Amino acid sequence: MKHYSDLEYLRLSKGQKIGYKIGSFFTGIPGAIGHFFKNIGGAIKQGAQAVGNEFKDIGSTFANGDWKTKVSFFIMGFGNIARGQVLRGLMFLLFEVVFIGYMVLAGAHWMAMLPSLGKVGPSSEYNAILDTYTTVYNDNSFKILLYGVLTMFFIIAFIYTWRVNVKQNQIAEKILKSGKKLKSGKDDLKSLVDDQFHKTLLALPLTGILVFTVMPIVFMILVAFTNYDGSHNGYTNNLFTWVGLDNFNTLLSWSAGSGGGQSYSATFGEILAWTLIWAFLATFTNYFLGMGVAMMINKKGIRLKKMWRTILVMTVAIPQFISLLYVSKMFARNGLINLSLMNLGWIKQPLPFWENPMWARVSVIVINIWIGIPFLMLITTGILMNIPADLYESARIDGANAWQQYTKITLPYMLFITGPYLLTSFTGNMNNFNVIYLLTGGAPTNPAASGAAGSVGYTDLLITWLFKITTGADSQYYLASVVGIMVFVVVAFISLVVYNVLPSIKNEEDFQ
């Protein structure tokens, strides 16, 4: 494709411009992907270099350090205590003691079990006292995996702390050599509310994220490589174990699942396609209609602005499960709408809002508009009012009509400002569990996908499917993990492309 310079581009006609943009978008993709991998390559190279430097630094610290430093390589915090920084030293020492204690008592055991995820499952044994057979539980795959992950985190934390300990000795020696004094324990405590205040502030939030987000995600990624499900729960029935890439093969394979019907990959593809269509429509219908409502209310000469806004804003506050469940029942086969219409004699048969795939899909999108517009109205109102009035004034003097003002000023301005919001909104809609689950629960069921786990329906998104898989009859957790990873891959891919290719996000500053 021919590449135009900026000035050449400005001379193109409107159609040519659009064509050129679309063209360069798609030709840009390979470049962006290539760039991405190049970045990864670069990062790996840098990382390797950094690790090399670390080792060099550790080595030279040991070689050049005094005896206090050398002892600290084995007894953490020794150097600190010997140099008078008792508080720091004791913290290091305490951490080392706890770590070694944990590893000896439990950690080593879990790490040893991790490669097999348990050897002995539950067994029936004769119990002489009760004179009957009872089940004896042995290894617990779930716990092994969980504590294995925990132990790995602990080991990483220990290595990092050890490294800090070594570095501190090196720094302390340097400071003492230059004739200055080291910080005392009191200084350390003081700095926690001053120059090190960020550490104090972040300690709690980051611990929470580490324990309740990072570790679960690592765990669930690992589950994708096991056969953990309802019948292999790892403790009371069968142990589960590593299966490599089998689950990914299953999801992407052309063969049908256990119940027959179409292939797994076809089911997955269908759900993914609907998820993307849904996310696109849900995002942009809300965006443009919400902006439209906001502009109507904002228009000069419209009275009772506050009342119109309050009416809509009120609906933002009502918990979604109430409005969604109520509306879902309203549109049901025997719900308010169908019954009233039949009472009025307008229809003979109930309208198949939730029974017909097409009706159901259109219905969820329409109802989502109902749910989403007030929020979008709120967001866009503020931004619309921030558009400098002189832009419109000069456009009017230049002879632009209302529609031209919208397409030439309002829309570009809004797209620039809300670009990042649109992206998060798109990915948020991909994972919009509430709207789909509370409205349809994924219904109507897709008979062709009967082979797949968790009774797939026509309005199911990947995320509701994931939920159904875990709560379905045989709880195929491993498959849910694979689906979760796929969601991540799709979201990450879209975000990356949007950030790298779309100019509206790159040139965010243009209007500021």
Q: Site residues for other proteins, window 212-241 (CB under 8 A)?
A: 212-214, 216-217, 219-220, 223
315 binds other proteins (CB under 8 A): yes
Which residue is listed with tokens 């948020």?
428
Closer Cβ to other proteins, 18 or 366, answer by number: 366
What 8-state DSSP symbol labels residue 136? E
Site for other proteins in 162-181 (CB under 8 A): none
Q: Which residues contact 109 (CB under 8 A, 6 or more apart)?
A: none
Residue of 382, 399, 403, 509 interacting with other proteins (CB under 8 A): 382
Angle separating helix axes 411-430 and 357-386, nearest 10 degrees: 140
CB of 440 vs other proteins, minimal distance in Å = 13
Asked if residue 325 lies in contact with residue 319, where contact means CB atoms within 8 angstroms, the answer is no
Q: How far apart are CA 99 and CA 106, in angstroms?
A: 10
Residue 251, classed as helix, strand or coil, is: helix
CB of 228 vs other proteins, minimal distance in Å = 9
Q: How far apart are CA 141 and CA 132, in angstroms?
A: 27
CB of 170 vs other proteins, minimal distance in Å = 17
Residues 187-206, one symbol each (x = binds other proteins by CB under 8 A, - = not), give ------xxx-xx--xx-xxx
Residue 459, classed as helix, strand or coil, is: coil
Query: In 51-67, which positions are buried (b, 16+ CB within 10 angstroms) versus exposed (e)?
Result: eeeeeeebeebeeebee
Site for other proteins in 392-431 (CB under 8 A): 417-418, 420-421, 424, 427, 431
- Binding segment for other proteins (CB under 8 A), chosen from 88-96, 104-112, 254-262, 304-312, is 304-312
CB of 162 vs other proteins, minimal distance in Å = 18
Residues 440-479, one symbol each (x = binds other proteins by CB under 8 A, - = not), give ----------------------xx--xx--x------x--
Q: What six digits make up the tokens of 400?
A: 């632009």
CB of 327 vs other proteins, minimal distance in Å = 6
327 binds other proteins (CB under 8 A): yes
Backbone angles phi, psi at 173, to 5 degrees: -60, -40
63 binds other proteins (CB under 8 A): no
157 binds other proteins (CB under 8 A): no
Residue 234, classed as helix, strand or coil, is: coil
Q: What six digits make up the tokens of 12?
A: 């193109």
CB of 432 vs other proteins, minimal distance in Å = 11
Closer Cβ to other proteins, 243 or 330, answer by number: 330
CB of 474 vs other proteins, minimal distance in Å = 14
Asked if residue 24 lies in contact with residue 30, where contact means CB atoms within 8 angstroms, the answer is no
Which residue is listed with tokens 């978008």?
25
CA 196, distance to chain mean position in Å, is 30
Q: How far apart are CA 257 and CA 251, in angstroms?
A: 9
- Binding segment for other proteins (CB under 8 A), chosen from 250-258, 276-284, 451-459, 491-499, is 491-499
CB of 109 vs other proteins, minimal distance in Å = 17
495 binds other proteins (CB under 8 A): yes
Strand partners, 125: 134
Q: How far is CA 190 from CA 14, 88, 317, 422, in A?
A: 63, 13, 44, 44
Residue of 23, 34, 47, 208 interacting with other proteins (CB under 8 A): 208
CB of 128 vs other proteins, minimal distance in Å = 31
- Binding segment for other proteins (CB under 8 A), chosen from 68-76, 157-165, 357-365, 372-380, is 372-380
Site for other proteins in 328-357 (CB under 8 A): 329-330, 332, 334-336, 338-340, 342-343
CB of 290 vs other proteins, minimal distance in Å = 11
Size of the site for other proteins (CB under 8 A): 92
Closer Cβ to other proteins, 93 or 243, answer by number: 243
Residue of 12, 86, 391, 438 interacting with other proteins (CB under 8 A): 438
CB of 497 vs other proteins, minimal distance in Å = 13
CA 426, distance to chain mean position in Å, is 12
Q: What six digits make up the tokens of 343?
A: 């009472």
Residue of 69, 381, 446, 476 interacting with other proteins (CB under 8 A): 381
Residue of 279, 439, 456, 487 interacting with other proteins (CB under 8 A): 487
Residues 257-296, one symbol each (x = binds other proteins by CB under 8 A, - = not), give ------------------------------------x--x
Asked if residue 275 lies in contact with residue 430, where contact means CB atoms within 8 angstroms, the answer is yes
Closer Cβ to other proteins, 135 or 424, answer by number: 424
Q: Is 511 exposed, middle or buried (0-12, 13-18, 19+ CB in 10 A)?
A: middle
112 binds other proteins (CB under 8 A): no
Closer Cβ to other proteins, 138 or 315, answer by number: 315
154 binds other proteins (CB under 8 A): no
98 binds other proteins (CB under 8 A): no
Q: What is the 3-state secondary structure (H, E, C) of 79-133?
A: HHHHCCCHHHHHHHHHHHHHHHHHHHHHHHHHHHHCCCCCCCCCEEEEECCCCEE
Q: What six digits make up the tokens of 464?
A: 């509701």
Taking the CA atoms of residue 170, residue 171, residue 176 and residue 179 in that order, the dihedral angle to the nearest 10 degrees is 140
Q: What six digits make up the tokens of 35?
A: 């760039």
Residue of 94, 157, 325, 362 interacting with other proteins (CB under 8 A): 325
387 binds other proteins (CB under 8 A): no
Long-range own/partner contacts, residues 347-355 (CB < 8 A, 24 or more apart): 354/328, 354/440, 354/443, 354/444, 355/443, 355/444
